[in-house]
Amino acid sequence: MTELLASLLLASVWLAIAAFLLAAMRPVLRRLGGAALVYRSWWLLPMVLLAPLLPLPPLPLADSAPVLALGAALRAPVLPDDAVLWPTVLAALWVAGAILAVVVQWRGQRRFERGMGTLQPRSDGSWQASADPGLPALVGLWSPRVVVGPDFDLRFSEAERSLILQHEFQHRRHGDQWANALLAVLRCLFWFHPLLPWVSRRFLCDQELACDARTLDTHPASRRLYANALLKAQLVHPVAPMACHWRSQPMLKERIAMMKEHKRKALPWVTGQVVVVGLCMGLGAVAWASQGSAGGSPTISAEAFSQDDAASAGLERPVTIDNMPPPSYPRSAFENGQTGKVVLQVDVDAQGKATDVRVLSATNPGVFDAVSVAAARQWTYRPAMKDGKAVASAVRIPVNFAMDETVTE
Give which of 96, 101, 94, 80 is closest to 4, Cα–Cα: 94
Average pLDDT over residues 70-97: 65
Q: Give a yes or no: residue 125 inside a domain.
A: yes
In this structure, the chain runs to a length of 409
Residue 325 CB neighbours (<10 A)? 11
**Contact in structure between 27 and 37 (CB atoms under 8 Å):** no
pLDDT single digits (tens) 239-250? 677 777 766 555
Rounded distance, CA 384 to CA 396, Å? 13
Owning domain of residue 238: 2-290
Same domain for 314 and 224:
no
pLDDT on residue 406: 45
Taking every pair of C-alpha atoms in the chain, what is the biggest distance, in angstroms? 99
Q: Give a yes or no: residue 44 inside a domain.
A: yes
Rounded distance, CA 203 to CA 183, Å? 9
Kindly give, in sequence order, each residue whose CB lies less than 8 Å from that of residue 97, ignoring residues fewer than 6 positions away: 191, 192
Total count of domains within the chain: 2
Handedness of CA 6, 181, 253, 263 (dihedral sign): positive
pLDDT on residue 64: 47
CB-based burial of residue 173 (10 Å sphere; 0-12 exposed, 13-18 middle, 19+ buried)? Answer: exposed
**Contact in structure between 249 and 235 (CB atoms under 8 Å):** yes
Rounded distance, CA 32 to CA 21, Å? 16
Residue 365 CB neighbours (<10 A)? 11
Rounded distance, CA 157 to CA 153, Å? 7
Rounded distance, CA 159 to CA 48, Å? 42
**Contact in structure between 168 and 147 (CB atoms under 8 Å):** no
Asked whether residue 72 carries a pLDDT value surpassing 60, the answer given is no
Q: Give a yes or no: residue 211 inside a domain.
A: yes
**Confidence class for position 308, pLDDT limits 50, 70, 90:** low
Task: Tell me the β-bridge partners of 1.
Answer: none
pLDDT on residue 68: 46
Same domain for 275 and 364:
no
Beta strand pairing call for 340-348 and 393-403: antiparallel
pLDDT single digits (tens) 188-235? 999 999 999 999 999 998 999 999 989 988 888 888 898 888 877 765
Same domain for 345 and 282:
no
- Write the DSSP symbol of residue 403: E
Rounded distance, CA 170 to CA 172, Å? 5
Give which of 381, 368, 390, 224 is closest to 315, Cα–Cα: 390
Give CA 146 to chain center in angstroms: 29
**End position of a domain, from candidates 226, 257, 290:** 290
What does the angle CA 347 – CA 370 – CA 338 come to, to the nearest 5 degrees?
Answer: 125
**Contact in structure between 94 and 8 (CB atoms under 8 Å):** yes
Asked whether residue 162 carries a pLDDT value surpassing 90, the answer given is yes
Task: Tell me the β-bridge partners of 403.
Answer: 298, 406
pLDDT on residue 226: 87
Q: Give a yes or no: residue 366 inside a domain.
A: yes
Same domain for 302 and 242:
no
Asked whether residue 85 carries a pLDDT value surpassing 70, the answer given is no
Same domain for 335 and 285:
no
Same domain for 313 and 380:
yes
- State the amino acid at position 379 in one-letter form: W
Same domain for 366 and 280:
no
**Confidence class for position 303, pLDDT limits 50, 70, 90:** low
Q: Give a yes or no: residue 409 inside a domain.
A: no
pLDDT on residue 224: 87
Same domain for 125 and 31:
yes
Rounded distance, CA 354 to CA 361, Å? 19
- Backbone φ and ψ for 375, nearest 5 degrees, come out as -70, -40
* Bond preceding residue 136 cis, omega within 30 of 0: yes
Same domain for 311 and 255:
no
**Strand, coil or helix: what is 313?**
coil
Give CA 80 to chain center in angstroms: 29
- Write the DSSP symbol of residue 327: P
Q: Please state which of the ranges 41-50, 98-107, 293-302 shows the lowest mean pLDDT.
A: 293-302
**Contact in structure between 368 and 399 (CB atoms under 8 Å):** yes
Handedness of CA 38, 41, 42, 45 (dihedral sign): negative
Average pLDDT over residues 343-356: 91
